[in-house]
Structure 1
Amino acid sequence: METSITIRNSKMLGQLIRDTRKQQGLNLETLAGLCGLSIRFLSELENGRETCGFGRVMRVLDALGIDLIAQPLGES
């Protein structure tokens, strides 16, 4: 079953990433190895830091199997 979640800010995205990582039984070290990023970066991302680079965020989403779908506000 696919679930769609509306992400409005970096904190919400970080929470989605953290929840998905934990559901998959991954710790930060394992996820860091899967996507080639540092544990520090992943921790900052999960905590909603707004300055995380988009390309690196996309690598994390890809490693977790999360698709990013954007649509204009007001469309459902």
Structure 2
Amino acid sequence: VLPRKTMAIINTIIKNNYGFDLINEKYLSKWVKALGQFFYKYIDINLIDHFMVNGTARAVNYLSRTLRAFQSGYIYH
């Protein structure tokens, strides 16, 4: 049987979730939020929106303007 003081310490450690909540709140949440902001600003907006989505639209627009010169609209050319 453990002494009352030892049990109180163990009980406090268990109630505090072994310190994981404190670590998450003070340290990890700041880094995860900063990482999320980085991915939003640089990956989502710049890479996905500007390059992939808008870039594909610009490429199709350029290709259609270029190929339009080859198409006369007549069946017999």
Higher relative contact order (CA 8 A, sep 6+): 1
**Considering the TM-score relative to the shorter chain, is it more than 0.5?**
no
Structure with greater helix share of residues: 2
Give the number of the structure whose alpha-carbon radius of gyration is greater: 2
TM-score (norm 1): 0.22
